[in-house]
Amino acid sequence: MIEWGENRSGSPIPMACLLIALAASLTLCQCGSEGVTPPRRAVAFDFASYLPEISLLDQWTPDRDPRLYEGEDLFAFINGGAEIYHEYGFERVIVQEYKKGDGKITLEIYEMDSPKAAFGIWSLKKGAEGRRLELSGRGVLVDYYAHLWKGPFLYTLTAFDESEETMAGLETIARAVDAATESGSDVPAIADLLRVEGLVEQSVVYMTGPLALFNCQRFFTGDVFESSEIVKGDYECGCRVFAFAYGDALKGEKQFGKVWAEFRRSPDFSEVDVEGGVLRLVSAKGRFIQFCRAQRYLLLLLSEGDGKAVASLRTALVERINAAF
Amino acid sequence: MKRQLSRRAFIKSSANVGAATLVGGHLLGTISCHPGGESGQKPSADTSIVAAVTGEDRYAQTVKAIEVLGGMKCFVSGGDRVCILPNTQRNNPGAFTNPDIVRAVIDLCAQAGSERVDCLSWLPRESWESTGLAQAAKGAGANLKLVDGKDESLFRAVAVPRGKILKEACLMELFFEYDVFINIPITKDHAGNKFTGTMKNLMGLNSPRSNRTFHTGNFKNDNIEHLDQCIADLNTVVAPTLCVVDATEFIITNGPFGPGKLHHPEKVVAGQDRVAIDAYCASLWDLAPKEIVMIAAGHEHGLGEIDLSRKDLREIVL
């Protein structure tokens, strides 16, 4: 048991010990070095290659040592909230706090196992609101926080007050991390499938599993769709579309049958009709659903009404997918 | 002496109601085995009440909410050892229990004559300090008891006979030293199952290793029903004496860690019925309680009422 002031085993890897191996040449030496516990890594971790140049931070300085959490140790940092990162494919997170006067900003650098995974967690975290930041990567500022995607990284910046100076500092740090990351990456191809007229670009969310889907929209509590590539987009007509990818058209067809059966079994949905391979349902909340297959994708359109606009959107999406094949 | 009586009273009452599955009943205030309940040392609280106090002063709101329930003396007697469990997730706005709520609870316990109040947690000290909860607790005279979550010897295996999935919990050994347990979560979004409140907060008493079994597979095929049923199962062996929930300002996206979009109901919610409190808190951001698997599963377990129309809901504005 640990009482006040004691150290804790299983603490994140502290900067101070790593500095011994890194030598004083690192610019990060200006960080403090309290709370030292033995590092678990045999090889020193190069924080400097992840963190922005301090000279670019307009006098925002590190408030304490950066911390590193890798693999399942993420639970030590995000107790109870780590699952979603792992579903996308989590490698490590570096956490660094900055201060300037009374202002405080936290930078979290999540390294995912691929640019697609980073795009996915970024698209989920940023939400559909917020102001786009002018960066070479994709950045969105929402209220007191910002999310930036570039390459395999998700950068999350949190301001602890909304003063002009702190919010300006948040953008300064965002620009610095953007500059420190070498290159961006393309959006996953499946996200392009939704790009037909009326798509609200900022609403696109890329998912790789049931947890992200559940966070986006509740259809079932289990993994009924069994897809590891899902994309969601909202449209100006008020319709929300989900596209689920499968290995090939045959797998898509098979899954279509399974999901169809689950919809029919669930008390949360009532079937309206089936026409031309399109299952139409009404949810318990009175929302209309159109569910169909196109090539190796399943399409689900969710809307308040069931009018022509939804049918036109479905036709446009199916045509786009067919054209791609 | 009182504690020994309470323990015996627990065993007797547990046998009577077939509720022998409740862990350390001397400290767990269910209706049937409330400490001191049989010895008549406490006025009895009305378990049908859910108090929701809206305002700007978190301390005053908390005091009022507990007053509506009958006052802290309904839950804490002279000499009681009290364990409290706030949510110290992260210092992001709306992601941790407001320190003033915790301070108020500690003060009220002291006024009711508690021997001591301890905050119990296996989360790191950093979480307590960065949220201001360590300072609030210490300032109010409570002790911070941090347990190394990786040291299994600091946890006790407990059978979960009524568990539909969870058959064994692993609770902090220290937890068994207390007479009263006050659960003080913040309600908010949760990426794992969409909602967290009183029931899910109890995972903070269970070992991280055991909590890991609440999730299936390798995160690529996690199952919300499995997670939520495990949480409801855990709640069959741990019953808080009192729940005080921070529903003042909380994240409704990117939970439980944040940063996320903030919602401001400005309420402190208190009561003994975990299911009803969670149902009420879910409704504060338009979630249907029946759609939260954990709440429905808690109701099915008989832990509380999901239908708020069956509760005595006291909504007060300060």
pLDDT for the residue B221: 55
pLDDT at A144 over 70: yes
Pick the CATH number of A189-324 from 3.40.1000, 1.20.1260, 1.10.3470, 3.30.365: 3.40.1000
The answer to whether A222 contacts B262, with C-beta atoms less than 8 Å apart, is no
Between residues A114 and A81, the one the model is more confident about: A114
Of A2, A145, A214, the CB nearest to B259: A145
Best probe of the A interface among B85, B116, B125, B131, by most A CBs < 10 A, is B125
The verdict on a CB contact (< 8 Å) between B123 and A9 is no
Query: Which residues 226-285 of A have a C-beta within 8 angstroms of B?
Result: 228
**A1 contacts B148? CB cut-off 8 A:** yes
Closest chain B residue to A144 measured between Cα atoms? B259
Question: Average pLDDT for residues A229-239, to the nearest whole number?
Answer: 96
Cα–Cα distance list, A288 to A198, A272, A314, B33, B74 (Å): 19, 9, 13, 49, 50
pLDDT at A324: 84
Residue-number span of the structural domain to which B77 is assigned: 2-317
DSSP assignment string, A67-131: EEEEGGGHHHHSTTT-HHHHHH-EEEEEEEEEEETTEEEEEEEEEESSHHHHHHHHHHHH-S-SE
The pLDDT-based confidence of A137 (bands split at 50, 70, 90) is: confident
Dist CA B302 CA B296 (whole Å): 10
CB of B116 less than 8 A from some CB of A: no
Q: Please tell me the predicted confidence (pLDDT) of residue A44.
A: 77
Subunit contact A143:B262, Cβ cutoff 8 A: yes
A216 at interface of B, judged by CB pairs closer than 8 A: no
Residue pair A143/B260 in contact (Cβ under 8 Å)? The answer is no
Preceding peptide of B259 cis, ω within 30°: yes
CB contact under 8 A, B261 and A129: yes
Domain count, chain B: 1
| Domain range list for chain A | 15-180, 189-324
Task: Please indicate whether residue B45 or residue A23 has the higher confidence score (pLDDT).
Answer: B45
- Phi and psi at residue A100, in whole multiples of 5°? -155, 115
Q: Which residues of B touch A3 (CB under 8 A)?
A: 143-146
CB contacts under 8 A, B 219-238 vs A, are: 219-225, 228
Confidence bin at A272 (pLDDT 50/70/90): confident
pLDDT per residue, tens digit, chain B (318 aa), is 333 323 333 333 333 333 334 554 444 433 333 333 334 457 778 889 999 999 999 999 999 999 999 999 999 999 999 999 999 988 999 999 999 999 999 999 999 999 999 999 999 898 999 999 999 999 999 999 999 998 999 999 999 999 999 999 999 999 999 999 999 999 999 988 899 999 999 999 999 999 988 887 555 556 788 899 999 999 999 999 999 999 999 999 999 999 999 999 999 999 999 999 999 999 999 999 999 999 999 999 999 999 999 999 999 999
Using DSSP's 3-state secondary structure scheme, residue B315 falls into strand
Interface check for B259 against chain A (CB to CB < 8 A): the answer is yes
The Cα–Cα gap between A209 and A224 comes to: 11
- Given a cut of 80, whether residue A19 has pLDDT beyond it is no
- Top-confidence residue, A11 or B189: B189
Q: Measured between alpha carbons, how far is A105 from A63 in angstroms, rounded to an integer?
A: 9
Most A CBs within 10 Å, among B222, B226, B294, to test the A interface: B222
Match 């301390």 to its residue by tokens: B59
Our CA-based measurement puts residue A89 at a distance from the nearest CA of chain B, in whole angstroms, of 9
Q: Is the pLDDT of residue A22 over 50?
A: no
* Whether A144 and B261 lie within 8 Å, measured CB to CB: no
Q: Is the pLDDT of residue A3 over 60?
A: no
- Residue A136 has a pLDDT of 81
To the nearest whole Å, the CA of B318 is away from the closest chain A CA by: 27
At B222 the pLDDT is 63
CA B155 to the chain's CA centroid? 18
* Whole-number pLDDT of residue A43: 62
CA atoms of A132 and B183, how far apart (whole Å): 40
- % of residues, chain A, pLDDT over 90: 65
List all residues of chain B from 163 to 222 with a beta carbon under 8 Å from chain A.
174, 190-194, 196, 200, 203, 208, 211-212, 215, 218-222
Lowest mean pLDDT among A73-77, A318-322, B14-18, B124-128: B14-18
Neighbouring CB atoms inside 10 A of B36's CB total: 27
Picking from B122, B146, B213, B254 by the largest number of A CB atoms within 10 A of its own CB, the best residue to mutate is B254
The whole-number pLDDT of residue A48 equals 79
Among candidates B123, B194, B221 on the partner chain, residue whose Cβ is nearest the Cβ of A79: B123
- % residues pLDDT > 70 (chain A): 86
Decide: helix, strand or coil at residue B256.
Answer: coil
Give the number of A-B residue pairs with CB atoms closer than 8 Å.
117
Shortest CB distance from B220 goes to which of A81, A87, A158? A87
Distance from CA of A222 to the nearest CA of B (A): 5
Nearest CB among A11, A75, A211 relative to B222 is that of: A211
Determine the topology of domain A15-180 in CATH: Protein Transport Mog1p; Chain A (3.40.1000)
Cα-only R_g, chain A: 23
pLDDT at B10: 36
CATH number at residue B288: 3.40.50.11440
